[in-house]
Amino acid sequence: MTLAELNVYQMAMDLGERAWVQVSNWDFFAKDTVGKQLVRAVDSIAANVSEGYGRFHYRENQQSCYYGRGSLFETRTWLIKAANRSLISKETHAAFEHDINQIGRMLNAYIKSIGPVAESVHEENAAYASAPMTNDE
């Protein structure tokens, strides 16, 4: 499985692009304060997944994904601030929140699938394909 085929990576990339579109419409002060932080946090999710994917040892991949999960939580905080400050609508915030929850479940499943069972993080990984995406991770 290639990096581009990982659903969690695809969703994280899409979330970053959607955040960029939102922030690009804000005034200078909002962009310079909340906007930059939001874009950096949301872009870091996909960046960390891709960095981990490129690492040789599975533990490095897991660690990078943990960093990505931290960026996911940071993204949630900046989106709450954006909603509270009327920079995004409640509907837009709800849509982002839905996707953040889905990415979180997928990222947890992906992290669980990485391990000594696979010889390489680049092999077909049956554990990832069948990993549950529930809230109890």
Domains of the chain: 3-130 (1.20.1440.60)
The tens place of each residue's pLDDT in the chain, 137 residues long, gives 899 999 999 999 999 999 999 999 999 999 999 999 999 999 999 999 999 999 989 999 999 999 999 999 999 999 999 999 999 999 999 999 999 999 999 999 999 999 875 444 444 444 444 444 444 44
Looking at residue 102, what is its pLDDT?
Answer: 98
Looking at residue 24, what is its pLDDT?
Answer: 97
Contact 45, 33 (CB under 8 A): no
